[in-house]
Amino acid sequence: MKDENIEILNLDDEIMSNSVPETFSVIKSYGEDLTTKTYITNPAIARESEIKKLMIVLLTPEKSGLLVGKPGIGKTAIVEGLAYLIQKNEVPEALKGYRIVKINSTSLIGKMSVNGKEEMVISLLVQELKNVEKTILFIDEVHTLIGGRGDGPMDLANILKPALDRGDVKAIGATTTIEYDTYIVRDRAFLRRFDKIEVSEPDEPTTVKILMGSLPKIEKKTGIKFKYNEYVSELLVKSIVRATSEFKRIYGLAAQYPDVAFSVLTQAFSQALYKNKPVVDVLDVYEAIKTSKRIYPDSIIKELNLFREEFKGLCEDENIILPVVTIDEVQNNEENY
């Protein structure tokens, strides 16, 4: 919760509140400590390689990590995965006791009035970081703070340099491949202090593993269960992953594994909740694929035909009818959403 006495100005000096007390903390007001967060399951399933690379970078003097990859592939999950391991004390001795604080880049683009004098929020953060130890700062969409872009407000690397060079404070940035190529590669000061870690899109078997591992978390959040045993559940998850494979997706920034498949899986839970059902069954998964806005309509029809054939026996056992769907119905669903 933000202090009521804070005065925040945007880049056009628009006043949003009043004044900053001497005890004001940017970290406490805008940060989220990922190492104190409750994790139902490992948030970074099948990302052991990326987490290892990130830890090695963080253990390197005067270096911080930069996660680069397409949207929707789980860059934030990798950072949460490291926080999860720190929680469990399953990290190298040199990283034990660290905390990872996530701060949104939009929170740092602005000014505050301190004793009648305007100060950049990010400058106040740097001052605060001088007095803390064993802190890893995580900034998503870090490209918005890079100096080299035409409308960029500052050079993050230079402003953070004093805190980064002390060694006790490390940083993790995350950005998309496009933003990295457009803005960050031109900022040599940034690149000197941050090592790039490529985050690739997981393949189909890995995405199945991620979704299966995420089921307990979704069940906890929704309060309903996936109806079937692990074998049948995995078959249903595989059908979702197959339906959202690369050439069946509608092109878009978020159309990547695991995000595109995860959206269909969570939609199956939404279908069950809408019908006031205590469990998610084969019909809910069928409806989730049918109503997906991320799959081409003709691909949806083909996948539903395969789905009905694959789960014909299960439907007969449970007296469930999976209706034949036409291309017009799928297109109408898209128009009605």
Distance CA 34, CA 135 (A): 11
Under 8 Å between Cβ of 172 and 80: no
SS3 of the chain: helix, strand, coil, percent, to 5: 50, 15, 35
Q: Give how many domains the chain has, as a whole number.
A: 2
- Quick one: 153 and 109 in the same domain? yes
52 shares a domain with 129 = yes
Note whether residue 2 is domain-resident. no
Together in a domain, 118 and 240: no
Residue type present at position 314: L
CA angle 32, 155, 199 (to 5 degrees): 60
In a domain, 3, yes or no: no
Q: Is 87 in the same domain as 34?
A: yes
Predicted TM-score (pTM) of the model is 0.86
Within 10 Å of residue 105's Cβ, how many Cβ atoms? 19
CB hemisphere CA count around 82 (13 angstroms): 31
Give the domain-ending residue among 198, 215, 246.
Answer: 198
Q: Which of 198, 220, 254 lies at the terminal end of a domain, its last residue?
A: 198
Q: 122: closest CA among 100, 84, 101, 153?
A: 153
User: Tens digit of pLDDT per residue, the chain (337 long)?
Assistant: 444 444 444 434 433 344 455 567 899 989 999 999 999 999 999 999 999 999 999 999 889 999 999 999 999 999 999 999 999 999 999 999 999 999 988 888 778 887 778 888 888 888 888 788 899 999 999 888 776 444 444 566 677 777 777 766 789 999 999 999 998 888 887 788 889 999 999 999 999 999 999 999 999 999 999 999 999 999 999 999 999 998 899 876 467 999 999 999 999 999 999 999 999 999 999 999 999 999 999 999 999 999 999 999 999 999 999 999 999 999 887 665 5
CA dihedral sign, ordered 94, 95, 99, 103: positive
Q: Which residues contact 15 (CB under 8 A, 6 or more apart)?
A: 7, 8, 9
Together in a domain, 178 and 216:
no
Mention every residue, 6+ apart, whose C-beta is less than 8 A from residue 255: 72, 249, 294
Q: End of a domain among 163, 178, 198?
A: 198
- Judge if 139 and 171 occupy the same domain: yes
Instruction: For residues 13 and 94, state if they share a domain.
Output: yes
Q: What is the CATH number of the domain that holds 103?
A: 3.40.50.300
Same domain for 113 and 18: yes
Q: Which domain holds residue 101?
A: 8-198
Residues 194, 218, single domain; the answer is no
